Structure formats: C-alpha cells, structure tokens
Amino acid sequence: MKTITLIASVVLFGTSFAQSTSGDIIGTLMNKEQTEGLSNAVAVTSRGEAVFRAMTDLDGRFRISGVPAGEYDVFFLYDGDTIFAPSKVEVAPDGIGDLGIVTQMSSTDIGVVEVNGDRLRLGKGVSPEIKLSRKDITHRPDKNNVKSMITTMTSDVRQTEDGGLVFRGARKGDLINYIDGVKMTEVQNMPSSSIGYIMVYSGAIPAKYGDTTGGVVVMETVSYFDLLREWEARNGQ
C-alpha cells in the first residue's frame, strides 16, 4: 500500500512539475500592400514590468516565447516607426496566441510607448534589449554563425574586417559578451543546438552587466527545462 501511494505521489508531482503557465505569441508583419514581410522589426509586448520581444524573420514572421498566460497588446518597432497590432491576442497556458497578419497601416515616431499602462521608454537613439529565442534561431539560415545573427538583430552592431563586432559609436573591444553569466572579451561562436537565447543591449544597459559604452551580448545555453518542454511538445504532453 505504501508503495502504491509513493508511486501515485511521484506521478502527481511529475505532472504538476511539467505544467507551464506561459505560452507563445506568433504572427506576421507585412507591408501595407501585404506583398512582402517586414524583416528585422522588433515585436514587443509586456506584462507588468516584464517586457517580451522577438525579431521578425526574412518573411516578417515572429514568435515571442515565454509569455505568461493572458491577453496582450503587441506593437512593432520598424525603421524608426511604431506599428500597433489592431487587436489583442490571447495566450493560454502552454498554448500559442496567433496574432495573424499585421500590416504597416498606422505608425508613429518612436517616443514613449504605453502598453497596458506600463511605460516602456524607447527614446530615439536608445535601443531596448533585443532577444532571439531558441525557436527563432532554429529557423534562421545563419543559425551556425553567432556573429551574423547578432548583426542582423540590430543595425547598431557591425562586423569588422577581422571578424570582430563593434557597436555604433564605440571603440573596438568595448563590447562585452556573457555566456551563462561568464564574462568574455569577445563573442564566442557555438553550435546553434546549444543556444537557449541571444540578447543584445545596445543602449540603457543594466548595471549588473558592468560599465561599457560598447553594448552587451548575453547568451544562455539550453537548459534541462528547455529540453523537457521540447520533449513534451513532440510527445503531445
């Protein structure tokens, strides 16, 4: 009897452990005529003080991952403009909220943008952090070239002739790269299958990353929980 009770407890614990209260937001950003997708735009949404972002790919598609369940407004930062999605999107636990196609119809100059009453300051010339998720990386043609991915995430970063990365307005060598919290002097390449996400700070750098004028690249490798979620998705759990 004790053995049965113990097994039941383990099963219940495993089930509750595997449950997630977050999901993803997907969609496509296109031009006014809906003839082509808008690439390298930043899709943004927020929940309280937490802000979630993702880049659009070459076809204008995006996926904002790890968003807590709930209803969201989404807007896009593209070529100096802010493009607002016409409707909210609902995200269910472990689900996907599909925003559908958003067109470049109504846009304004980037200033102070309000999302659900929480202000996200995006003053001209100051870029927020931009995140490339694991799911985004797997669909990129340059997924095995970390430096190439970083330069396409933001126009503030360029690659020099000797292969180094430089942030606009900064000297060579001022860039800081963190891999799993370990500070590196230059951006390291690694297999795309091992990357959990890449985040680039080109302005308003958090104090925890130190004092630098050259921007920060933060990389996290894939964790056990990432692999667990992928296994659950493949097996329909």
The pLDDT assigned to 26 comes to: 93
Question: Between β-strands 130-133 and 75-78, what pairing exists: parallel, antiparallel or unpaired?
Answer: unpaired
**Residue 119 domain boundaries:** 1-124
Q: Which of 65, 93, 124 is the last residue of a domain?
A: 124
**Which residue type does 175 have?**
L
DSSP assigned state of 143: T
The pLDDT assigned to 62 comes to: 94
The pLDDT assigned to 214 comes to: 74
Per-residue pLDDT of the chain (237 residues; tens, 9 = 90+): 545 444 444 444 444 444 557 889 999 999 988 899 999 888 988 877 688 889 999 899 999 988 888 888 898 888 767 888 888 898 888 888 999 999 887 444 334 444 433 344 444 333 456 778 877 888 888 888 888 888 888 777 888 888 888 887 677 777 888 888 888 878 888 888 888 888 888 766 766 776 676 788 888 888 766 677 667 777 766
CATH code: domain of residue 72: 2.60.40.10
Q: Which of 75, 105, 124 is the last residue of a domain?
A: 124
**Which residue type does 222 have?**
V
CATH code: domain of residue 161: 2.170.130.10
The pLDDT assigned to 236 comes to: 67
The pLDDT assigned to 136 comes to: 80
174 and 119, same structural domain? no
CA angle, corner 42, sides to 142 and 227, nearest 5? 55
CA R_g for the chain: 19
135 and 94, same structural domain? no
Q: Which of 91, 124, 157 is the last residue of a domain?
A: 124
Stretch (H or E) spanning 74: none
Distance CA 71, CA 93 (A): 12
pLDDT digits (tens, 9 = 90+) for 41-69: 889 888 776 888 899 998 999 999 888 88
Segments of 89-146 assigned E as strands? 89-91, 96-103, 107-109, 112-115, 118-121, 130-133
**Which residue type does 212 have?**
T
139 and 31, same structural domain? no
DSSP calls for 174-186: --EEEETTEEESS
Instruction: List 136's β-bridge partners, or say none.
Output: none
217 and 154, same structural domain? yes
117 and 2, same structural domain? yes
